[in-house]
Chain A
Amino acid sequence: MAKAPASAQGVGKTPDKLLEIRDLKIEATVYPPGEAPKDIVIVDGVSLTLERGKVLGLIGESGAGKSTIGLSAMGYGRGGVRITGGQVIINGRDILKSGIGGLRKLRGKEVCYVAQSAAAAFNPAHKLMDQVVEAAMLHGVANRAEAEKRAVALFKKLSLPNPEVIGNRYPHQVSGGQLQRVMTAMALCSEPDLIVFDEPTTALDVTTQIDVLAAIKDAIRDTGVAALYITHDLAVVAQVSDEIMVLRHGKLVEWGDTHQIIREPRKDYTNQLVSVHRIEHEEKTPGDKPLLSVKNVTAAYGGGVVDVLKNVTVDIHPGQTLAVVGESGSGKSTLARAITGLLPPREGSITFDGRTLPAKLADRTKNDLRELQMIYQMADVAMNPRQTVGTIIGRPLEFYFGMRGAERDRRVAELLEEIEMGKGFLDRYPAELSGGQKQRVCIARALAAKPRLIICDEVTSALDPLVANGILKLLLNLQAVENVAYLFITHDIATVRSIADSIAVMYRGAVVRYGSKSQVLSPPFDAYTDLLLSSVPEMEVGWLEKAIKGRRMEAAGN
């Protein structure tokens, strides 16, 4: 087991220990399809200590047990998870021995929680202020008037607009970035000793994330609260943490101060995390005839008055990748819907391989449909859970090519080979696959149609960085072999660098910057592209302050 870093030992003076976790063991019962229920160990023998006022980042891929450890500091097991061993000592007492009554006194008073999705974590039926002051009043930390005063001060500190009145609003009336800050204020309102931040910026746009991150960092520094900061993004955690603990499969990999972890990682796995997303991809020069040509497309939903796509013009060349970037609501996915015919544009035309595509899906030929395939963000819900991998991949073969029996099975096996999975997966159901494997099956299904163009809508966004990297490499290999073009929708600049040949930056329904990768990513930038690029966290201590200072434009949604 790794030793605590020197700073955690408090050189020269007695460390003022707030939280100590000793040999924590957490288990859960899983119910795999078609098998007997079994107990699995989620967290295995993890120990840590945290001093007052310090921030410890917990980092790892999904399933590493980081949220589970964070919640154990409140004596809470999410979804039937059980803490089966070890000690969690807060302010000198083992909270696991204090019973449910003791835990209720701890939760919301000594330890507070900030969830990943504030939009879901706020009760839609109550005003924000009622929810923000609830814990402080419940635990007798303050009466209503004092608590409200404190909440307003916190709203100000977190730079929320209209701090005096924002508490009178309901959760659906404020934006996601604001809600995340209100949730931070809610956690701070009862002046806890420790806050557990559980991926507080993961669900936000990159341009919003930076503001929320800065607000959280300031609030932590000014209030002197200690924090467990849980995330899968090392660059983010590097901005706020004093120390970082790397976890994998519920076990400790490495624990050190922030600088050491990101500059001199001692373990291979940490090194992999630090160096992730470094695919070198030479951009290809566009040919003279584009495969898909979107010309002056304007579209609105439901015949509405608000155009969600404004005069969009882009080209995609055979065997190349156009990356479409922008924050949520910028019209990226709407562009995909217009191209696939799901949302017929009001104006403009879409040309594919020299012929104009009918605007409506219903008017397109089977061949039009075959040549243009789609892969989605949530591989989980894009597959029928009651069909096997073989059926899922075989379906387009039957539908487009009329393949049957042995011929189809041989082709399915080939496709499984192409996505590096092998035919052992033929009879598996989606529920038995990992996130990355599911996305690979979706890729194989798209490839089965032998398309000329695949629209990839945030296909790596729900995946862990290392897994996402594998998917990107696979897509690049397939492009080299099959000469298929991609329209790659993403909000992640690192992904764009890895895969794009040309880039379109979208903002509020319009393309604000378009060209080859090297052109788009080199200065001089327009204001929005500058904001987008400068908001991507870099793995470097002190990046946050520099980035905030250097900004030329305010992020939307704040």
Chain B
Amino acid sequence: MSPILTLIAQRIALGVLLLFAVSVLIFAGTQILPGDVAQSILGQSATPEALANLRRELGLNDPAIVRYFSWLGGVLTGDLGTALTTRQPIASTLMPRLWNTLFLAFWAAIVSVPLAVILGLLAVRYRNGPIDKAISGFALASTSLPEFFIGYLLIFFVAVQMQWFPSISTVYAGMPLADKLNAIVLPATVLVLVVLAHMMRMTRAAILNVMQSAYIETAELKGLSSFDIIRKHAFPNAIAPIVNVIMLNLAFLIVGVVVVEVIFVYPGMGQYLVDHVSKRDVPVVQAVGLIFAAVYIGLNIIADIAAILANPRLRHPK
């Protein structure tokens, strides 16, 4: 097998291993939480017999190891368990919400990633000039403001005063795409503003670092224009760090949207997680935690693989 395939296979295997380790942590973490699930479902007035019955029914009397493996076996076969509060299977409730979250994250990414990279390239092209300073200033300002603040600002000005977009992002199955897009404009904008600066600054820094190299001088002495030098000669050598920071931000778009979803009452995973944490619905918390972990690990594996593929020394060994 070629060394590069070996490297990639190693990364993926490590990712899977890591995911198992995380599943153990999530399970252990939810076990040491104080409180009794049966008690919290049935309330303070429940009789001891009812509590004992429910515990047996939920399998709470089995040893932790047994419960872990029965949970893991379920997860691997697509059964995320049953929500304690609603008695509904988690998978069927969670899936549409996962899709909603991915839908929002996708559109936020579609706008923010190219925008960040292009702004980063522009900042390098006009480095230390007014354009660079304006881009950096705007990006840093938007990052420094907390997302709920930006969210409420947008709601106040864009939704309430100008009435361009709805302040409540309701989406449902069967809704036409255009309506859906219209509904998520404001939360997507908030997300874009939150992640933009980090990616832009990293793109700028990574390319500026490469701009010190001797081959950039070679390109200049070939008579290439500044932008071509950045695009053709600097950017390809800065891909690895840029992809890394992009993946971190994409992960944030999926797992870190809790606040934004709550502000805009968007029916996504974050909203769902918050609801069930407050009700101490352990199976739901476990399932959502595992999905968030999988997203994080998956995106970081992609970043690692991209970095491997971007390195010509690994791609084309001697």
Contact = CB atoms under 8 A, between A and B. Distances in A.
A binds B: yes
Given A170-B316, A172-B312, A173-B316, A123 B218 contact: yes
B220 interface: yes
Interface stretch (A105-113, A253-261, A342-350, A407-415): A105-113
B214 to A, nearest CB: 4
B237 A134 contact: no
B222 to A, nearest CB: 4
A138 B236 contact: no
Contact of B233 (A105, A108, A123, A170): A123
Contacts of A74: 221
A337 to B, nearest CB: 24
A88 to B, nearest CB: 15
B160 interface: no
A174 B312 CA distance: 13
B9 interface: no
Interface stretch (A51-59, A114-122, A231-239, A386-394): A114-122
**Size category, A interface:** 20 to 34
Contacts, number: 73
A257 B310 CA distance: 50
Contact of B217 (A78, A112, A138): A78
A90 to B, nearest CB: 14
B217 A172 contact: no
Interface string A341-379: 000000000000000000000000000000000000000
B223 A139 contact: yes
A305 to B, nearest CB: 17
Nearest to B318: A173
Contacts of A134: 222, 224
A136 to B, nearest CB: 9
B313 interface: yes
Contacts of A138: 222-224
A269 interface: no
B222 A108 contact: yes
B186 to A, nearest CB: 40
Given A115-B214, A120-B214, A121-B218, A126 B223 contact: no
A121 B215 contact: yes
A469 B188 CA distance: 69
A385 interface: no
A46 interface: no
A109 B219 contact: no
B221 A108 contact: yes
B318 A108 contact: no
A135 B318 contact: no
B213 interface: yes
Nearest to B236: A125
Contacts of B313: 124, 170, 172
Contacts of A169: 316
B61 interface: no
B225 interface: yes
Interface string B293-318: 00000000000000000101100101
A418 to B, nearest CB: 39
B214 A121 contact: yes
A76 interface: yes
Interface in A118-156: 120-126, 131, 134-135, 138-139
A173 B233 CA distance: 19
Contacts of A122: 215, 218
A24 to B, nearest CB: 18
A74 B224 CA distance: 13
A109 B214 contact: no
Contacts of B224: 104, 108, 134, 138
A76 B220 CA distance: 9
Report which residue of B220, B221, B236, B318 has the largest number of chain A beta carbons within 10 angstroms of its beta carbon. Answer: B221
Contacts of B221: 74, 76, 107-108, 112-113
Contacts of A126: 232-233, 236
Nearest to B233: A123
A106 B223 contact: yes
Contacts of A135: 222-223
A115 B219 CA distance: 12
A172 B312 CA distance: 8
Nearest to B225: A104
Interface string B261-272: 000000000000
Contact of A107 (B220, B232, B236): B220
Nearest to B228: A138
B215 A123 contact: yes
A125 B236 CA distance: 6
Given A170-B316, A173-B316, A117 B214 contact: yes
A120 B237 CA distance: 13
Nearest to B237: A125
A18 B233 CA distance: 31
Contact of A104 (B223, B233, B318): B223
B223 A124 contact: no
A106 B223 CA distance: 7
A492 to B, nearest CB: 25
Interface in B142-177: none
26 contacts: A104-B223, A104-B225, A107-B221, A108-B222, A108-B223, A115-B214, A115-B217, A115-B218, A120-B213, A120-B215, A121-B214, A121-B215, A121-B218, A122-B218, A123-B236, A124-B215, A124-B237, A124-B313, A125-B236, A125-B237, A125-B310, A125-B312, A131-B218, A138-B222, A170-B312, A172-B313
Interface of B: 213-215, 217-225, 232-233, 236-237, 310, 312-313, 316, 318
